[in-house]
Amino acid sequence: DIQMTQSPSSVSASIGDRVTITCRASQSIGNALAWYQQKPGKAPKLLIYGASSLQSGVPSRFSGSGSGTDFTLTVSSLKPEDFATYYCQQAKTFPITFGQGTRLEIK
Amino acid sequence: QVHLQESGPGLVKPSQTLSLTCSVSDDSLNSGRYFWSWIRQPAGKRLEWLGRIYTSGSVTYNPSLESRITISLDTSKRQFSLKLNSLTAADTAFYYCARDRDGRGYFDPWGQGTLVSVSP
Protein backbone atom coordinates (compact mmCIF):
# COMPACT_ATOMS: atom_id res chain seq x y z
CA ASP A 1 0.00 0.00 0.00
CA ILE A 2 1.08 3.59 -0.60
CA GLN A 3 1.68 5.35 2.71
CA MET A 4 0.62 8.99 2.97
CA THR A 5 2.33 11.14 5.60
CA GLN A 6 1.22 14.65 6.45
CA SER A 7 3.10 17.37 8.28
CA PRO A 8 2.62 18.96 10.60
CA SER A 9 0.12 16.87 12.58
CA SER A 10 -1.29 20.09 13.98
CA VAL A 11 -0.75 23.78 13.40
CA SER A 12 -1.96 26.91 15.17
CA ALA A 13 -2.63 30.03 13.14
CA SER A 14 -4.53 33.31 13.26
CA ILE A 15 -7.29 34.73 11.10
CA GLY A 16 -5.72 36.15 7.96
CA ASP A 17 -2.59 33.98 8.13
CA ARG A 18 -1.26 31.95 5.23
CA VAL A 19 -0.91 28.26 6.08
CA THR A 20 0.72 25.42 4.19
CA ILE A 21 0.24 21.72 4.88
CA THR A 22 2.50 19.09 3.36
CA CYS A 23 1.73 15.54 2.24
CA ARG A 24 4.31 12.99 1.17
CA ALA A 25 3.60 9.71 -0.61
CA SER A 26 5.77 6.63 -0.07
CA GLN A 27 6.10 6.25 -3.84
CA SER A 28 5.33 8.39 -6.86
CA ILE A 29 1.63 8.98 -7.49
CA GLY A 30 1.91 11.50 -10.32
CA ASN A 31 -0.79 14.07 -9.65
CA ALA A 32 -3.37 11.61 -8.33
CA LEU A 33 -3.91 13.41 -5.04
CA ALA A 34 -6.89 14.95 -3.29
CA TRP A 35 -7.30 17.16 -0.25
CA TYR A 36 -10.32 17.08 2.07
CA GLN A 37 -11.52 19.26 4.91
CA GLN A 38 -13.32 17.68 7.85
CA LYS A 39 -15.08 19.49 10.66
CA PRO A 40 -16.07 17.79 13.93
CA GLY A 41 -19.04 15.48 13.50
CA LYS A 42 -19.16 16.02 9.74
CA ALA A 43 -18.14 14.08 6.67
CA PRO A 44 -15.01 15.11 4.77
CA LYS A 45 -15.45 17.66 2.00
CA LEU A 46 -13.45 17.52 -1.24
CA LEU A 47 -11.36 20.65 -1.73
CA ILE A 48 -8.71 19.79 -4.32
CA TYR A 49 -8.37 16.92 -6.80
CA GLY A 50 -5.70 16.07 -9.32
CA ALA A 51 -3.24 17.75 -6.92
CA SER A 52 -4.15 21.28 -8.01
CA SER A 53 -7.71 21.43 -9.38
CA LEU A 54 -10.15 23.33 -7.20
CA GLN A 55 -13.43 21.53 -6.59
CA SER A 56 -16.50 23.50 -7.67
CA GLY A 57 -17.76 25.80 -4.93
CA VAL A 58 -14.52 25.78 -2.92
CA PRO A 59 -13.12 29.27 -2.21
CA SER A 60 -10.11 30.33 -4.24
CA ARG A 61 -8.04 30.92 -1.08
CA PHE A 62 -7.46 27.15 -1.14
CA SER A 63 -4.81 25.90 -3.55
CA GLY A 64 -2.86 22.70 -4.08
CA SER A 65 0.44 21.93 -5.75
CA GLY A 66 2.98 19.19 -6.23
CA SER A 67 3.54 16.00 -8.14
CA GLY A 68 5.33 12.71 -7.70
CA THR A 69 5.73 12.26 -3.96
CA ASP A 70 5.49 15.76 -2.44
CA PHE A 71 2.35 17.87 -2.28
CA THR A 72 1.12 20.97 -0.50
CA LEU A 73 -2.21 22.50 0.42
CA THR A 74 -2.15 26.25 1.01
CA VAL A 75 -4.81 28.46 2.52
CA SER A 76 -3.87 31.99 1.53
CA SER A 77 -5.77 33.98 4.15
CA LEU A 78 -7.45 32.04 6.94
CA LYS A 79 -11.09 32.62 7.74
CA PRO A 80 -12.83 31.35 10.89
CA GLU A 81 -14.60 28.58 8.97
CA ASP A 82 -11.26 27.13 7.81
CA PHE A 83 -10.31 25.77 11.22
CA ALA A 84 -10.73 22.03 10.74
CA THR A 85 -8.76 18.86 10.04
CA TYR A 86 -7.31 18.36 6.57
CA TYR A 87 -6.55 15.02 4.93
CA CYS A 88 -4.65 14.15 1.79
CA GLN A 89 -5.56 11.04 -0.22
CA GLN A 90 -3.83 9.22 -3.05
CA ALA A 91 -5.89 7.93 -5.96
CA LYS A 92 -3.07 6.39 -7.99
CA THR A 93 -3.39 2.75 -6.97
CA PHE A 94 -5.64 0.49 -4.94
CA PRO A 95 -6.13 0.48 -2.08
CA ILE A 96 -6.84 4.18 -1.95
CA THR A 97 -5.12 5.57 1.15
CA PHE A 98 -5.32 8.70 3.26
CA GLY A 99 -2.90 10.72 5.34
CA GLN A 100 -3.22 10.84 9.10
CA GLY A 101 -4.64 14.36 9.05
CA THR A 102 -3.49 17.85 10.00
CA ARG A 103 -5.48 19.72 12.60
CA LEU A 104 -5.63 23.46 11.96
CA GLU A 105 -6.36 25.33 15.18
CA ILE A 106 -6.96 28.94 16.06
CA LYS A 107 -4.01 30.62 17.77
CA GLN B 1 -27.41 18.20 -5.92
CA VAL B 2 -27.20 14.50 -5.02
CA HIS B 3 -27.44 13.45 -1.38
CA LEU B 4 -26.23 10.20 0.14
CA GLN B 5 -27.59 8.76 3.38
CA GLU B 6 -26.26 5.78 5.32
CA SER B 7 -28.53 3.56 7.39
CA GLY B 8 -28.01 0.52 9.57
CA PRO B 9 -27.58 -0.67 13.13
CA GLY B 10 -25.50 1.38 15.50
CA LEU B 11 -24.48 -1.59 17.62
CA VAL B 12 -23.35 -5.01 16.47
CA LYS B 13 -21.95 -7.91 18.47
CA PRO B 14 -18.48 -9.35 17.88
CA SER B 15 -18.32 -12.14 15.27
CA GLN B 16 -21.58 -10.94 13.69
CA THR B 17 -22.11 -9.33 10.28
CA LEU B 18 -22.57 -5.61 9.75
CA SER B 19 -25.06 -4.55 7.08
CA LEU B 20 -25.23 -0.92 5.98
CA THR B 21 -27.16 0.70 3.17
CA CYS B 22 -26.49 3.96 1.33
CA SER B 23 -29.50 5.63 -0.27
CA VAL B 24 -28.84 7.93 -3.23
CA SER B 25 -31.25 10.81 -3.81
CA ASP B 26 -31.18 10.83 -7.63
CA ASP B 27 -30.69 8.43 -10.55
CA SER B 28 -26.90 8.79 -10.69
CA LEU B 29 -26.48 5.27 -9.25
CA ASN B 30 -27.78 3.97 -12.58
CA SER B 31 -26.09 6.52 -14.84
CA GLY B 32 -22.87 4.61 -15.50
CA ARG B 33 -20.84 7.74 -14.76
CA TYR B 34 -19.80 7.06 -11.19
CA PHE B 35 -18.31 4.55 -8.81
CA TRP B 36 -19.67 4.16 -5.29
CA SER B 37 -17.44 3.66 -2.29
CA TRP B 38 -17.51 2.83 1.39
CA ILE B 39 -15.02 4.53 3.70
CA ARG B 40 -14.66 4.29 7.46
CA GLN B 41 -12.97 6.27 10.21
CA PRO B 42 -12.28 4.98 13.73
CA ALA B 43 -12.56 7.75 16.29
CA GLY B 44 -9.52 10.02 16.10
CA LYS B 45 -7.88 8.01 13.33
CA ARG B 46 -7.31 8.32 9.63
CA LEU B 47 -9.86 7.42 6.98
CA GLU B 48 -9.77 3.92 5.51
CA TRP B 49 -11.18 3.14 2.06
CA LEU B 50 -13.06 -0.17 2.16
CA GLY B 51 -14.09 -0.76 -1.42
CA ARG B 52 -16.18 0.41 -4.35
CA ILE B 53 -18.78 -0.77 -6.87
CA TYR B 54 -19.68 0.32 -10.37
CA THR B 55 -23.09 0.33 -12.01
CA SER B 56 -22.26 -2.96 -13.74
CA GLY B 57 -21.72 -4.61 -10.36
CA SER B 58 -17.95 -4.73 -10.75
CA VAL B 59 -16.29 -4.39 -7.34
CA THR B 60 -12.85 -3.54 -5.99
CA TYR B 61 -12.05 -4.19 -2.36
CA ASN B 62 -9.30 -3.16 0.01
CA PRO B 63 -7.11 -6.29 0.24
CA SER B 64 -6.99 -5.90 4.02
CA LEU B 65 -10.72 -6.65 4.14
CA GLU B 66 -11.23 -8.75 1.03
CA SER B 67 -12.07 -11.95 2.92
CA ARG B 68 -14.80 -10.23 4.98
CA ILE B 69 -16.42 -7.61 2.76
CA THR B 70 -19.21 -7.58 0.19
CA ILE B 71 -20.50 -4.49 -1.61
CA SER B 72 -23.62 -4.71 -3.73
CA LEU B 73 -26.12 -2.38 -5.35
CA ASP B 74 -29.82 -2.23 -6.12
CA THR B 75 -30.39 0.42 -8.76
CA SER B 76 -34.17 0.01 -8.58
CA LYS B 77 -34.04 1.17 -4.96
CA ARG B 78 -31.26 3.71 -5.59
CA GLN B 79 -29.18 1.97 -2.93
CA PHE B 80 -25.83 0.31 -2.52
CA SER B 81 -24.84 -1.78 0.46
CA LEU B 82 -21.95 -2.94 2.60
CA LYS B 83 -21.68 -6.24 4.41
CA LEU B 84 -18.73 -6.87 6.72
CA ASN B 85 -18.53 -10.16 8.58
CA SER B 86 -16.57 -11.57 11.50
CA LEU B 87 -16.66 -8.24 13.29
CA THR B 88 -14.26 -7.30 16.08
CA ALA B 89 -13.85 -4.18 18.20
CA ALA B 90 -11.38 -2.91 15.59
CA ASP B 91 -14.32 -2.46 13.20
CA THR B 92 -15.87 0.18 15.46
CA ALA B 93 -15.91 3.37 13.39
CA PHE B 94 -17.91 5.97 11.54
CA TYR B 95 -18.89 4.48 8.20
CA TYR B 96 -19.39 6.75 5.19
CA CYS B 97 -20.66 6.14 1.70
CA ALA B 98 -19.37 8.38 -1.05
CA ARG B 99 -19.56 8.95 -4.78
CA ASP B 100 -16.35 8.60 -6.77
CA ARG B 101 -16.31 11.17 -9.57
CA ASP B 102 -15.41 9.64 -12.92
CA GLY B 103 -13.89 6.58 -11.27
CA ARG B 104 -10.70 8.55 -10.63
CA GLY B 105 -10.83 8.01 -6.90
CA TYR B 106 -11.95 11.45 -5.72
CA PHE B 107 -14.91 11.37 -3.35
CA ASP B 108 -17.72 13.88 -3.60
CA PRO B 109 -20.22 14.00 -2.10
CA TRP B 110 -20.17 11.92 1.07
CA GLY B 111 -23.01 10.76 3.24
CA GLN B 112 -23.21 12.20 6.74
CA GLY B 113 -21.81 8.99 8.21
CA THR B 114 -23.13 6.47 10.69
CA LEU B 115 -21.42 5.27 13.85
CA VAL B 116 -21.11 1.53 14.22
CA SER B 117 -19.96 0.12 17.55
CA VAL B 118 -18.91 -3.50 17.91
CA SER B 119 -19.51 -4.59 21.47
CA PRO B 120 -20.99 -7.50 23.40
pLDDT of the residue at B76 = 92
- pLDDT higher than threshold 90 for residue A1: yes
A9 burial type by CB count under 10 A (0-12 exposed, 13-18 middle, 19+ buried): exposed
Contact: A43, B60; criterion CB under 8 Å: no
pLDDT of the residue at A61 = 97
**What's the rounded mean pLDDT across residues B49-61?**
96
Name the residue facing B112 among A43, A50, A101 (closest C-beta): A43
pLDDT of the residue at B31 = 87
pLDDT of the residue at A43 = 94
- pLDDT higher than threshold 80 for residue B101: no
Distances from the Cα of B57 to the Cα of A69, A102, B25, B80, angstroms: 33, 35, 19, 10
H or E stretch at B87: none
Question: Where are the strands (E) in chain A, listed by range?
Answer: 4-7, 10-13, 19-25, 33-38, 45-49, 53-54, 62-67, 70-75, 85-90, 97-98, 102-106
Residues of B in contact with A49 (CB under 8 A): 101, 104, 106
Query: Which of A55, A56, A96 would you mutate first to test chain B, the one with the most B CBs within 10 A?
Result: A96
- Check if B5 contacts A (Cβ < 8 Å): no
What is the per-residue pLDDT across B21-53, written as a single tens digit (0 to 9) for each? 999 999 998 888 899 999 999 998 999 999 999
- pLDDT averaged over every residue in chain A: 97
